[in-house]
Structure 1
Amino acid sequence: MKIGFIGLGTMGRGIAANILKAEHGLAVYDINKAAADELLEAGASWADSPKSLAEGVEIVFSSLPRPSDVIDVYEGGNGLSAGLAAGKIWFDLSTNSVETVRKLHAELSTRGVRFLDAPVSGGPAGAASGQLAVWVGGDRAAFDRARPVLDTFSDHARYVGEIGAGSIAKLVHNLTATVMMQAIAEGMTIGVKAGLEPLQLYEALRAGATGRARSFDSIHRRWLPENLDPASFQLSLLHKDVKLAVEMARQVGVPSRLSQLALEDMTEALNRGWGARDAQSVLLLQQERAGLGSFGLTQKAIDDVMKE
């Protein structure tokens, strides 16, 4: 299968190298030709433009920094738009906007070209080792056809839904990761200012229940299936703990904006009479604010995903 790859930066170079190692024919393009030197030495061919690359391959992959870069590669007389013909497939591995990928999909669909959003997670090390997560939205048949190529650079390629679904998953992933990092920073600064040595505190946090768990594992038995009664750990007890931590932060003069917001939510949940429910019942408030009812998930369906 002849593959084209556009964007040979810190992520793209490693991904393209793994495709080439799997003995797929590979054509590459980047605005900086020097970025392709090692790939060309290893047997890849050079395309003078996105158009010429698209004309000579079955599947195009792009890995670019911003939505505007994806549009720049697509548009113009030498862009992908001019080289993609009916039957060809384009996977955009960039972290893109949902609006952009849906617009490209709509336009290319009228020409018989299948466009899929397929952002990746795992960083440069994962790109080099072939251990990336790839979340794909778009045509399922195109995903299945390209699966052998996706598996050359990913140990977790997942079809997640219609066009835009991959971008939604990636943006939510990075958003929640950032908020969690900020929460950790808030907690660490409170603990250090209260008198604990940074390394001792870090090691203590890693040894706790949350520190030992994968970030999203804590919600799969309680909040997701709404299995909140009887409680594993009562909301009233967690409210007490967070209130004490916020009071400690105030005493040592450390801002605790995220912690204050969490405490306000738990106080609201207590005022609704949820104190004896599981502590994760506080998360129902966000569902309500988002205008969502129950997710309708069964424990079996969740457990099946956890096994993958």
Structure 2
Amino acid sequence: MYGTSRRLKIKMIKKIIVSVSLLAAAISPVFAQVGVSVDVSASTEVTTPRDAASGQASGKRDSASGQATGKRQYAPVRIIKEVGREIKDIRVDVKNEVDTMRAEVKDEIKTMRVDIKGDLEVRRAAVAAELKAKREDLRKEIDTKRDEMKTKIDAKREQLKERLKGIRDEKKKETVEKMDQRLDEINNNQTEHALSILEKLSSAVERIISRADKAAERGLDVIAARAAIDAAEAAIASADAAVKVQAGKTYKINVTTEAELRAAVKAAHDALKADLKKIHESVKAAYEAVRKAATTLAQIPRVDNDSDSDLDPNDPSSTQ
């Protein structure tokens, strides 16, 4: 949009230069004629006093010379008036041509805005549909993984019960079984929480894209904002992949002896904690990327002002 407006301004300036050139071409012969007339009248004025001083010119000759001189004195006045009328007519023609060009440029800009607006609306709808489809696909994949994990978790718990048969302390057995179940619940809850945050971030990116499109429609420079949006989308995609992998994990408590029960439980818990920390970091990185995209867009002057008064002040078609 910005490049198109610049081309239109250049086109208009070229037309004005042509009009001024035509004006100069029309005026130059007239001023040349004025110069000749003034020279003749000047020479006549010099000759007439000289003839009077020498006494050689007769009364009739003086009278005829006076009449001729008078006519020559009035000739430049007529020419200047004619030049004035011609200049006035040319100015009117130039003004009319400029007004016509402004109207044409304005109409072209309006037409381009309508076309661009239609294209951007289609793009917004496509972006929204694409983001929604991605979220739905991710949700389905994670739900599928969780269904698959139920079978694995049940098998894991049966194995744990078999290993705990060698432990005499029933209270310890019960504690270990509860911890095994708790680890799976924590993982499920944390991955669900991360997924919920990423869905909100994805919706935020969709709104940022919409704002950037509207700003681009009005000719604002959104190159930096587009780059930040791309980075945010990449960060969200990376976090999505990490959450998807984490949703398919389970943590086994390796029971060996009764003395090693505490260490086995701690090892499983530490492994879960380390993995969830990575998920947290990836989600945080996605959040920061989205925040940067929003901040970069907000730094563009008049980005959220939809008024037509925000047009380029140097664009003659916007100041009528």
> Which TM class, normalised by the smaller chain length?
under 0.3
- Which structure has more strand as a fraction of its residues? 1
Identify which of structures 1 and 2 has the higher relative contact order when contacts are C-alpha pairs closer than 8 Å and 6+ apart.
Answer: 2
- Normalised by the length of structure 1, the TM-score is 0.22
Q: Which has the larger radius of gyration?
A: 2
- Which structure has more helix as a fraction of its residues? 2
